[in-house]
Amino acid sequence: MGERAKGLLEASGGGTLVDRWLSVLHEAGVARVLLVGRHPAYRTLGLETIDDEPSGVGPIGGLTALLRHAGASRALALACDMPFVSAGLVQRLIAAPEAPVVAPWRDGRWEPLCARYDAARVLPSALRRIEARQYALHLLLAEAGAAPLPLEPGDAPELRDWDTPEEMQHSAAAPRDTTGGRSEP
């Protein structure tokens, strides 16, 4: 989306993507929200915001910053440009059995930015990958021993994201299940 702050794009149903996420997270029982990736437009939101660590390496820099910030706790990494994720899906991530990472597995790949991380267990792997200039998050999840969050019918459309203005316009309507069921590794 160029230099635009994705979180301030309008979500279907009104409000911004950040507004929608705050509502979803509140409904899911998440008490603390942290916005990763500073953008000047986010200053007025009143949310705690941190920089990617390191910057310029893509999503792994944001995830590493989140994991450092979480310390010995668990952290949810949720991409702001996934406008259809429900509170129910977030609650299932939170309640999933213990694992270094819990994430949906679909179409033969992990969904690393709709995942729950055990920060202390995954941060060392993330730092090694950055040092080796291996920035792919799906490989980090494989190395960390991620466990799949079983998907229910209807979950796949919730995991769509908005990477381009065309995707945003195309998927502005409510998501539909076109998968016909589960997807597991």
Give the tens place of pLDDT for each residue, 130-166. Answer: 999 999 999 999 999 999 999 998 888 889 885 544 5
Token pair 């310029």 in the structure block, residue: 56
CATH topology of domain 6-161: Spore Coat Polysaccharide Biosynthesis Protein SpsA; Chain A (3.90.550)
Kindly report, residue by residue over 65-123, the tens digit of the pLDDT. Answer: 999 999 999 999 999 888 889 999 999 999 999 999 999 998 888 999 999 999 999 99
Which residues have CB under 8 Å from 39's CB, separation 6+? Answer: 5, 7
Distance CA(89)–CA(87), nearest Å, equals 5
Peptide bond into 97 cis (omega under 30): no
Predicted confidence at residue 8, as pLDDT, reads 64
Instruction: Note the pLDDT tens digit of each residue in 165-180.
Output: 454 444 444 443 333 3
Given pLDDT bands bounded at 50, 70 and 90, which one contains residue 6? low
The domains of the chain are located at 6-161
